[in-house]
Amino acid sequence: MGWRDQLLKKGKDIVGRAMPKSKSKLVKDKTGTIKGVKPMSGNIPWHVSAGKTPKERAAIVKTHFSLERSRKIDKAVKDVKEGKKTLKDMVDTKQAEELKDYKGKGTGIFHKKGFK
């Protein structure tokens, strides 16, 4: 039992009215997929400047999160490229080897090479 429930039991229902449940600032469709952010909801990062009208503010927020997603994708692609380069270097220095399938083609799975 939480502290709110205990106060409500004692008859102090003021707590329930003083702290209403927070409403979602996200716009969702019937299936629950997030489609956007309610304009002027204040749900923006502190470092993003907000527009004066709801349309400006919504556009700024959408642009910010779009750029954030693009940067995340670029970072993931960069990590994959660096990982492939590291694996190639390890195979060249005989620290690792790639598993081959029954035709002799590489499978993309690497394992460490043991000392004999």
Question: Which position has the higher pLDDT, 3 or 106?
Answer: 106
Cα 102 to Cα 15: distance, rounded to the nearest angstrom:
70
- Residue located via tokens 């970072």: 75
Q: Whole-model pTM? A: 0.45
Question: Which position has the higher pLDDT, 9 or 67?
Answer: 67
Q: How many CA atoms lie within 13 A of 22 on its CB side?
A: 5
Average pLDDT over residues 44-70: 76
Cα 22 to Cα 55: distance, rounded to the nearest angstrom:
23
The per-residue pLDDT for 16 is 47
Share of the chain above pLDDT 90, in %: 0
Say if residues 41 and 60 touch (Cβ distance below 8 Å): no
Q: How many CA atoms lie within 13 A of 64 on its CB side?
A: 17
Beta-bridged to residue 100, according to DSSP, are 106
Task: List pLDDT tens digits, range 10-53.
Answer: 766 554 455 556 666 677 787 878 777 666 666 566 666 666 77
Task: List pLDDT tens digits, range 101-110.
Answer: 998 888 888 8
Stretch among 15-19, 32-36, 75-79, 94-98 having the lowest mean pLDDT: 15-19
